[in-house]
Amino acid sequence: MMTLYMPHLHRARMMRHFPGDHIARHFELQSDVHVPVDIKEEQDAFVIIATLPGLEAEDLNIEILDNVVDISGKFEKEVVEEEDNYLRRERAAGKFQRCLRFSTKLEAANAEAWLKNGILTLRIPKVEEERPKTIKIKAK
């Protein structure tokens, strides 16, 4: 099962890496492998979709704190025998980390994550007071 961590002790380290206030501004920290992500904004949530071929849920770590999402894990290296006669090796191996900072606070407790066929989908609701409000005008 995939774990979602929201440690408060991690906050100081994460905030040093995230100056400014940009929606979905992303950084790569200590990564051997680049993991592509798509980020979609809905009215009440953000949806992050990451391509993670070959990984299982237990290979991933997701941390959410205030408005920062940190996705990390490791692609294991395949054991190569000396008699293996590769012409090309392009599949990535090693650790990865994607940190994403959003312009609004996130409801970490209500985040949901799915991993299917190497595609991670993470839906994180916005904090209620950060969501846009619609006000209906009454005619007199």
Beta bridge partners of 60: 73
Q: In what order do the strands lie in the sheet with 60-65?
A: 3-5, 60-65, 68-75, 94-101, 25-28
DSSP letter, residue 138: P
> What are the sequence ranges of the domains in the chain?
3-77+91-128
pLDDT of residue 138: 80
Angstrom distance (rounded) from CA 48 to CA 61: 14
User: How much is the mean pLDDT over the chain?
Assistant: 79
Q: Rounded to the nearest 5°, which phi and psi values hold at 33?
A: -125, 135
Whether 56 shows a pLDDT value over 60: the answer reads: yes
Q: What would the mean pLDDT of 9-16 be, rounded to a whole number?
A: 44
| pTM of the predicted protein model | 0.69
- Span 66-97, pLDDT tens digits: 899 999 999 888 777 777 788 887 887 889 99
Give the three-class secondary structure for 39: strand
CATH of domain 3-77+91-128: 2.60.40.790
Decide: residue 105, CB within 10 A, 0-12 exposed, 13-18 middle, 19+ buried. Answer: middle
Whether 107 shows a pLDDT value over 60: the answer reads: yes
Q: What would the mean pLDDT of 97-112 be, rounded to a whole number?
A: 93
Whether 61 shows a pLDDT value over 50: the answer reads: yes
